[in-house]
């Protein structure tokens, strides 16, 4: 067994730092204060330098997810859900009542992209799913956030045959998970073998999302404002 | 040993093989086991650690005359944590996917005993040149170990390497290898192999009957 390096006499050692006398506590405090100050400045600098890219990345990820879960959509708008219905959200960012509306090339409303989140097998699973109010169908599902077990639970987004369960899924009376290969009705989802808990969690999260959102959403969304208005 | 260019070179090499931080010193096990379920993750973690270790060693070695020894550990931690924050934000901005996979393990680089260990044991006592070479060697050894573990686990557990499928669709992946037990199994086997090689090497040297002035050179 080889000795660890640290116990070996180090032949390249220089003389240890000379200990002249006990440094005063002011010296100790000022050393740490200076270190903290320099470190703080460095952290603020890197935060400022990366902030814009990080915000853009997040916004782009979200846009891509919306286009993915709502096929045929070429324009998206942020909606804000309020007590008396929905309105366009003009402000930056989002909160827990922000949803997304998708419009096709002709500017006609297609459907909503709804966020929902809940506990999975390991940690919160965050989902965005596309919903068409006219046909009462889920038309796409994208996992935004998950820490499911690699190799098993992560199939909820890696296994495309599972993801395609959500391409044309009726939400009435509610979505149910069944054993793989038994799917026969329009509201059924084939669970993943070896990842039953994660599959069920996805379905449960979408059902909870439906409960929360659907009755408050107008079937035809909000008509797009005339061309020329700012996005 | 005089401070010749060769000895600088040796400082670097020792970290990669003879004193490899993982296989010999068994340091930094937390990221070692946690993020090596694929080769890409292992590479990213290895490079992040590389940056932090080399940067901190450089700074600690430069400042070693000014840091009073009573507050040295806190000063090292401040330096290390700053580098970790820098790499954390950089990854988040440039490689959000990888940042997502590594998650909490990026901030946890601060607590990697390998890094603090090198500051205390080496960088704070040696000139900048040696400190940097030592850090490069140790971080290189860590990267090498992560890649070895990540590569083996991804090949067996997903039938792929760096996301490129190796065996075609008929390969039944050995899922346990990318789950935590697979990490322990693989690490154990690699350690076994490493010690076996070292033993062999020692035996061969004994047979040459060279009374070693320096153990296992």
A164 at interface of B, judged by CB pairs closer than 8 A: no
Size of interface A-B (CB pairs under 8 A): 108
Question: Euclidean distance between the first and final Cα of chain B, in Å?
Answer: 13
| Residues of chain A with C-beta less than 8 angstroms from the C-beta of B127 | 14
B102 at interface of A, judged by CB pairs closer than 8 A: no
- How many C-beta atoms lie closer than 10 Å to residue A213's C-beta? 18
Structurally, how many domains does chain B consist of? 1
The residue-averaged pLDDT of A100-107 equals 85
| Residues of chain A with C-beta less than 8 angstroms from the C-beta of B105 | none
Q: What is the mean pLDDT of chain B?
A: 85
B14 at interface of A, judged by CB pairs closer than 8 A: yes
How close does chain A come to B41, measured CA to CA in Å?
Answer: 12
Q: In angstroms, rounded to a whole number, what is the distance separating the alpha carbons of residues B62 and B96?
A: 33
Q: Do A39 and B92 touch (CB under 8 A)?
A: no
Q: Which two tokens stand for residue B165?
A: 């499928």
How close does chain A come to B192, measured CA to CA in Å?
Answer: 11
Q: In angstroms, rounded to a whole number, what is the distance separating the alpha carbons of residues B78 and A154?
A: 36
pLDDT band for A21, please (50, 70, 90 cuts): low
What's the pLDDT at A1? 40
Domain range for B195: 5-216
| Residues of chain A with C-beta less than 8 angstroms from the C-beta of B71 | 28, 31-32
- Asked if residues A86 and A216 have their Cβ atoms less than 8 Å apart, the reply is yes
Q: What are phi and psi of A111, to 5 degrees?
A: -175, 180
Beta partners for residue A112, in sequence order: A101, A131
A154 CB-contact burial (10 Å; exposed 0-12 / middle 13-18 / buried 19+): middle
Q: In angstroms, rounded to a whole number, what is the distance separating the alpha carbons of residues B59 and B42?
A: 26
Task: List, in order, residues 6 or more apart from A29 with CB less than 8 Å away.
Answer: none
What's the pLDDT at A3? 43
pLDDT tens per residue across span A63-86: 888 888 888 888 888 888 877 777
Instruction: Answer yes or no: pTM beyond 0.90.
Output: no
Q: Do A12 and B126 touch (CB under 8 A)?
A: yes
More confident: A91 or B74: B74
A90 at interface of B, judged by CB pairs closer than 8 A: no
Q: What is the mean pLDDT of chain A?
A: 81
Does the structure's ipTM exceed the value 0.95? no
- Asked if residues A141 and A69 have their Cβ atoms less than 8 Å apart, the reply is yes
B32 CB-contact burial (10 Å; exposed 0-12 / middle 13-18 / buried 19+): buried
Q: What are phi and psi of A4, to 5 degrees?
A: -65, 155
- Asked if residues A22 and B134 have their Cβ atoms less than 8 Å apart, the reply is no
Q: Which two tokens stand for residue A221?
A: 């969304």
The residue-averaged pLDDT of B136-143 equals 92
Q: Do A43 and B85 touch (CB under 8 A)?
A: yes
Block residue for tokens 């200076």: A34
pLDDT band for B211, please (50, 70, 90 cuts): low
**Preferred mutation among B59, B75, B107 to probe A, highest tally of A CBs within 10 A:** B75
Is the CA virtual torsion B42, B44, B49, B51 positive or negative? positive
Which of A4, A11, A39 lies at the smallest CB-CB distance from B25?
A4
């Amino acid at each position: 067994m080889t000795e660890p390096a640290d116990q070996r006499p180090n032949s390249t050692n220089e003389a240890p730092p000379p200990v002249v006398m006990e440094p005063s506590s002011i010296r100790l405090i000022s050393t740490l204060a200076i270190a903290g100050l320099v470190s703080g400045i460095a952290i603020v600098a890197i935060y400022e330098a990366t902030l814009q890219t990080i915000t853009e990345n997040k916004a782009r990820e979200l846009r891509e997810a919306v286009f993915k879960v709502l096929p045929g959509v070429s324009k998206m708008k942020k909606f804000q859900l309020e007590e008396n219905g929905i309105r366009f959200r003009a402000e930056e960012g989002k909160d827990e009542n922000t949803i997304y509306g998708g419009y096709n090339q002709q500017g006609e409303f297609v459907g909503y992209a709804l966020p929902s989140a809940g506990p999975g097998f390991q940690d919160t699973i965050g989902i965005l799913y596309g919903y068409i109010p006219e046909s009462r169908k889920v038309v796409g599902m994208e996992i935004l956030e998950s820490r499911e077990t690699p190799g098993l639970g992560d199939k909820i987004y890696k296994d495309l045959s599972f993801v395609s369960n959500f391409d044309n899924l009726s939400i009435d009376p509610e979505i149910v998970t069944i054993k793989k290969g038994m799917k026969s009705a329009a509201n059924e989802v084939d669970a993943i073998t070896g990842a039953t808990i994660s599959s069920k969690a996805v379905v449960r999260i979408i059902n909870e999302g439906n409960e929360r959102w659907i009755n408050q959403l107008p079937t035809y969304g909000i008509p797009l404002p005339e061309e020329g208005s700012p996005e | 040993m005089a401070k010749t260019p060769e000895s600088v070179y040796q400082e670097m090499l020792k970290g990669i093989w003879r004193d490899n931080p993982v296989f010999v010193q068994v340091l930094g096990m937390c990221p070692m086991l946690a993020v090596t379920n694929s080769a890409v993750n292992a590479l990213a973690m290895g490079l992040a650690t590389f940056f932090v270790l080399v940067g901190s060693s450089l700074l600690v070695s430069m400042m070693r005359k000014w840091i009073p020894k009573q507050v040295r550990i806190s000063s090292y931690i401040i330096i290390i944590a700053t580098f970790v924050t820098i790499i954390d934000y950089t990854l988040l901005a440039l490689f959000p996917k990888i940042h997502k996979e590594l998650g909490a393990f990026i901030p946890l680089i601060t607590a990697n005993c390998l890094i603090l260990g090198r500051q205390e044991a080496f960088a704070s006592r040696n000139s900048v040149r040696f400190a940097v070479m030592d850090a490069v060697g140790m971080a290189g050894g860590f990267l090498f170990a992560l890649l070895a573990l990540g590569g083996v686990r991804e090949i067996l557990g997903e039938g792929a390497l760096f996301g490129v499928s190796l065996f075609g669709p008929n390969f039944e992946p050995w899922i346990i290898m990318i789950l935590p037990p697979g990490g322990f199994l693989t690490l154990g086997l690699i350690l076994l192999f490493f010690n076996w090689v070292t033993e062999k090497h020692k035996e061969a040297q004994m047979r040459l009957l060279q009374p070693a002035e320096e153990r296992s050179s």
